[in-house]
């Protein structure tokens, strides 16, 4: 199994390290030719969604990745990655891949000084350490979207088809269970 990690900006190395600890091979997507490699799943990491969206288009990776996601490529998206997947943003006119039928609020918990740690429950996992850094949250979801976690009444993790998305950074913890949930959702028996 190989997991591709978008590596144009943001916290991609932390995801690679997490998968490495789990014995899973990763490749970095840095340019258009990288998306022609063989991989089984995709990680859209945290970082700055506006910059990532701009670079995806400038590097001519946007259309290819969007088509892969639409065709069912399993995706793990964290923080900025959630924003890239969101169908709509409530406080920004831009949208990016728009493959996840949710409405997201960017920087919903505040700017950098509003970053925080929270131990909450994730459906199917249990108690989990959640790191929020300039985090978004999900304001609304379509009926077919499964809500996996909430913090103070705000949705912070969801699953829709092959897309697993979180407003927090599971890659910054030592807990592999969120990444394992991603792998388990599509791993071949």
Residue 83 resides in a domain: yes
Of the listed 14, 87, 131, 169, which one is catalytic?
Answer: 169
Residue 123 resides in a domain: yes
Domain at 175, CATH number: 3.40.50.880
pLDDT of residue 185: 87
Residue 171 annotated to the active site: yes
Residue 189 resides in a domain: no
Give the integer Cα–Cα distance in Å for 97 and 119. Answer: 30
Residue ranges, the chain, pLDDT below 70: 111-114, 188-189
Non-local CB neighbours of 82 within 8 Å, separated by 6+ positions: 44, 100, 104, 136, 138, 165, 166, 167
Give the Cβ contact number of residue 50 at 10 Å. 16
Question: Looking at the 3D structure of the chain, how many domains does it have?
Answer: 1
pLDDT of residue 188: 57
pLDDT of residue 186: 83
Give the Cβ contact number of residue 36 at 10 Å. 7
Residue 109 resides in a domain: yes
pLDDT of residue 111: 65
Of the listed 79, 87, 96, 179, which one is catalytic?
Answer: 79
pLDDT of residue 65: 98
pLDDT of residue 24: 97
For the chain, the straight-line distance linking the first and the last C-alpha, in angstroms and rounded, comes to 12
Residue 169 annotated to the active site: yes
What domain range is 18 assigned to? 2-184
């Amino acid at each position: 199994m190989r997991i591709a990690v978008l590596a144009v900006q943001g916290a991609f190395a932390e995801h690679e390290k997490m998968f490495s600890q789990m014995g899973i091979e990763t490749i970095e997507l840095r340019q258009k030719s990288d998306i022609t490699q063989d991989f089984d799943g995709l990680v859209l990491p945290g970082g700055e969604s506006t910059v990532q969206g701009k670079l995806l288009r400038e590097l001519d990776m946007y259309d290819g990745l969007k088509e892969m996601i639409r065709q069912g490529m399993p995706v793990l998206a964290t923080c900025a990655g959630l924003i890239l997947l969101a169908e709509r943003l409530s406080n920004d006119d831009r949208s990016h891949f728009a493959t996840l039928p949710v409405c997201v609020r960017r920087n919903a918990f505040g700017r950098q000084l509003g970053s925080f740690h929270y131990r909450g429950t994730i459906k199917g996992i249990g108690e989990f350490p959640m790191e929020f850094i300039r985090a978004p949250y999900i304001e609304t979801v379509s009926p077919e979207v499964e809500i996996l976690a909430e913090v103070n009444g705000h949705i912070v993790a969801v699953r829709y088809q092959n897309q697993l998305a979180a407003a927090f950074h599971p890659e910054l913890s030592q807990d592999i269970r969120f990444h394992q949930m991603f792998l388990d959702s599509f791993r071949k028996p």
